[in-house]
Structure 1
């Protein structure tokens, strides 16, 4: 049998030595010249690999081998122990990240951001107290504090990308705890505004914040052991929402999507108020979870919550907007219905939570502003007569001067009604006076006396 094999195809080199695959392939590989475009593509590919990797520690181990165990995420998260502090300082961590970024071919800021975001995710994924679903446990809080110390060092040395961190953080949104987000803001890692601006779905983040704020309000009223932390969180979130959602248009100066944060802020505040008004209309049971949520939310209208921004115009615009929403929400009743039912809407029979909300609005807005706002809403929008008339009752009970303000306004309505044959104005005047008179002579003159005077 003839030998038809190609010489050297057996892989044997001179002297019969079998050559390695590297030697066999060495002649086939051509060294490619350096190209900026190719280098950029390789960097982009490395970044995509980094961001799509589920187990970042495993990826770094593939790149660096066993030495990378010194910098695995669990060690970073647990660096609150004295042993960890002794074995790895922030400078060592920064140096190691720079080395790994160089080997991976990615910017160190992106690698650092991905690692810290993954660490936050691991902390939030740990078992939580089911009665406090938006708060960290003591152990989680300790670990997060240690991790954020590392992040602060990386930030100070320009080794941390805020934008990349925000993007990575929203990937774990479903498991992200609201308190963790708050600590990122308080410790100046990324602000709440930066986080909101980086979210790809405005409606989605609004819904997420709404659910979390409802839980937070309920926990505050449940007198949990972390109530002080919860109150501080709620105050900071509400202050940001009010400032950004109700500032003057001329103040909107953002470099990235300038309208996004104000829209999210208004959306969240709107969701909370509509939830509260719907619950009140349905008849919320005292001491139920919904009742606690509403009580906690209505407390945000106090000076204690809005204290640091009370000197701005935003809170007053927010309160005026809230009043408009109360008066116009779900306008299902007609004026004819109000004539029959308004006795049930007196101050004494109105839900205590709603009268408490009215009182808080009264602190920010003067009687003149309140009556003027009521007049404007009635003239321009379809209203919920139950809310309008319960508001009138609260107004005359809480403000002695409201009696004369209402009488003057009603007098103008009557003049307009007779001069222009505007029946709506006359109906409004009669309903308002009848409602105010229900609160007794200490609050408003009797309906009969007013009618004689108006004759």
Structure 2
């Protein structure tokens, strides 16, 4: 059928006979909208959400820009075996390309670069590892991460990197994120551990994650792992930071989110580790089992080698006092009547060596006066675990010669209160403490009979 009857306007020809393109035909029908700042902001937010939800940022950029975007891949930056590393893909080149991409996508360059670096950290951490539950990087992973962090430092120095966005992206790969990678981010100033922890929306979840990773780190350290020096440095840095942030009084340290989050999570992790150790000892942990290795390593962090040379005295004393309270009060399953029958089994020589080693480490930081005073306060205000209370008394008189007089003075006050106010609890506590101390022999404390005679309680009219 001939189409000669079709008008020029319908056939797409202008009066001069030239066929017009569809873009020209449609141009007159499209109504141009005025610039709307609010709509532009919504579009930008939508683009940011798309970037954050996309699992493969390189693939997304390829969808937007085409094959030329392969130049933006960070694989050459983190591939230390490649002879092209930093040769054709320098930090400045990739940084410029990121800026161009951010401009085309209408999103801040800091968010785009943070997402790409976080994605690369995830790729490094999911590479084949040496153990089934790794917390340490392999040599190859460590080299690749080092190259990547050099690039991240360049982005930071040129205000092209969002720390907060980076933290949020990292938590999306939490299941594969290795603890050593987090430590390197902290040590090299990309994001501090404090920033990373505070950016997590669920403090309980992040506490559980840290607890599991610290247990694995302790186990690998005690198993003479290949990278023992790195592992020791990691554990020391983590514990020092936890103690400083968790037990620093009236802290004025800057925090990126809510000030109370950091002490909350650090104290929670420290308590989890101690309770895990105490429960293991109570259950009768087997020598050289994985649990035994974790407990032995964790109790080792209370040494001056790990803490004393860096942390100021006040937070450390508060941490040790808090630890002592937890030891004396956790899981108070035994009554005083049980203690009367069983306390001979709780002497210093029969107490688990790991627990006595912990007592000795606490004694380095706290004086005998402070320890006896703390024991007195705990017994007066809280329900206690009598086995650990009495084994602690044994450790006191064995390790501190001055503890005998301190305990005698305290017990005398308890007995006075008992007779004056008919406080049976005070009398029971006094007799238990004296009997326990006497078990350690005359070099540590008076015999029970000698103490009773010297105290002359038998001559009191109101004794039975």
- TM class by shorter chain equals over 0.9
Query: C-alpha distance in 1, partners of 2:22/2:128?
Result: 50
1:348 pairs with 2:381? no
Q: Is the 8 A contact 2:244 2:311 kept in 1?
A: no
The 5 A counterparts of 1:218-229 are 218-229=219-230
* Residue in 2 that maps onto 1:237: 238
The 5 A counterparts of 1:319-398 are 319-398=320-399
User: CA, structure 1 residues 202+11, in 2 after alignment: closer, same or farther (shift >3 Å)?
Assistant: farther
* Residue in 1 that maps onto 2:216: 215
The range that moved more, 303-312 or 437-446, is 303-312
The 5 A counterparts of 1:269-284 are 269-284=270-285
Secondary structure of residue in 1 paired with 2:129: coil
Query: C-alpha distance in 2, partners of 1:308/1:206?
Result: 26
* Residue in 1 that maps onto 2:154: 153
Q: Is the 8 A contact 1:347 1:394 kept in 2?
A: yes
* Residue in 2 that maps onto 1:100: 101
By how many angstroms is 1:211 displaced? 0.3
Query: C-alpha distance in 2, partners of 1:439/1:225?
Result: 43
Q: Is the 8 A contact 2:240 2:311 kept in 1?
A: no
By how many angstroms is 1:12 displaced? 4.8
Cα displacement string for residues 364-418 of structure 1 (whole angstroms, at most 9, x for unaligned residues): 1000000000000000100000010000011111111111111111111111111
1:435 pairs with 2:440? no
Q: Is the 8 A contact 2:195 2:256 kept in 1?
A: no
Secondary structure of residue in 2 paired with 1:224: coil
* Residue in 2 that maps onto 1:113: 114
Secondary structure of residue in 2 paired with 1:159: coil
Q: Is the 8 A contact 1:135 1:177 kept in 2?
A: yes
Please report the TM-score for the alignment, with normalisation by the length of structure 1.
0.95
Q: Is the 8 A contact 1:113 1:161 kept in 2?
A: yes
* Residue in 2 that maps onto 1:446: 447
Gaps in structure 2 of 5+ consecutive residues: 457-464
The 5 A counterparts of 1:198-213 are 198-213=199-214
Secondary structure of residue in 2 paired with 1:85: coil
By how many angstroms is 1:196 displaced? 0.9
* Residue in 1 that maps onto 2:311: 310
Q: Is the 8 A contact 1:134 1:216 kept in 2?
A: yes
By how many angstroms is 1:9 displaced? 9.6
By how many angstroms is 1:88 displaced? 1.8
* Residue in 2 that maps onto 1:85: 86
Matched residue pairs, number?
Answer: 454
Cα displacement string for residues 236-262 of structure 1 (whole angstroms, at most 9, x for unaligned residues): 111111001011135465352110000
By how many angstroms is 1:32 displaced? 1.9
Q: Is the 8 A contact 1:218 1:292 kept in 2?
A: yes
Cα displacement string for residues 330-353 of structure 1 (whole angstroms, at most 9, x for unaligned residues): 111110000000011011111111
Q: Is the 8 A contact 1:132 1:219 kept in 2?
A: no
Aligned CA-pair RMSD: 2.1
Query: C-alpha distance in 1, partners of 2:20/2:207?
Result: 64
The range that moved more, 387-396 or 70-79, is 70-79
Q: Is the 8 A contact 2:77 2:86 kept in 1?
A: no
By how many angstroms is 1:39 displaced? 1.8
The range that moved more, 120-129 or 313-322, is 120-129
Q: Is the 8 A contact 2:78 2:85 kept in 1?
A: no
Q: Is the 8 A contact 1:79 1:85 kept in 2?
A: no
The 5 A counterparts of 1:397-408 are 397-408=398-409
User: CA, structure 1 residues 255+229, in 2 after alignment: closer, same or farther (shift >3 Å)?
Assistant: closer
Query: C-alpha distance in 2, partners of 1:86/1:238?
Result: 40
Q: Is the 8 A contact 2:76 2:89 kept in 1?
A: no
Gaps in structure 1 of 5+ consecutive residues: none
Q: Is the 8 A contact 1:333 1:385 kept in 2?
A: yes
Query: C-alpha distance in 1, partners of 2:411/2:7?
Result: 112
By how many angstroms is 1:312 displaced? 3.6
By how many angstroms is 1:90 displaced? 1.3
Q: Is the 8 A contact 1:309 1:315 kept in 2?
A: no
Name the one with the larger helix percent.
1
By how many angstroms is 1:439 displaced? 0.8
Please report the TM-score for the alignment, with normalisation by the length of structure 2.
0.93
User: CA, structure 1 residues 347+9, in 2 after alignment: closer, same or farther (shift >3 Å)?
Assistant: farther
Q: Is the 8 A contact 1:11 1:19 kept in 2?
A: no
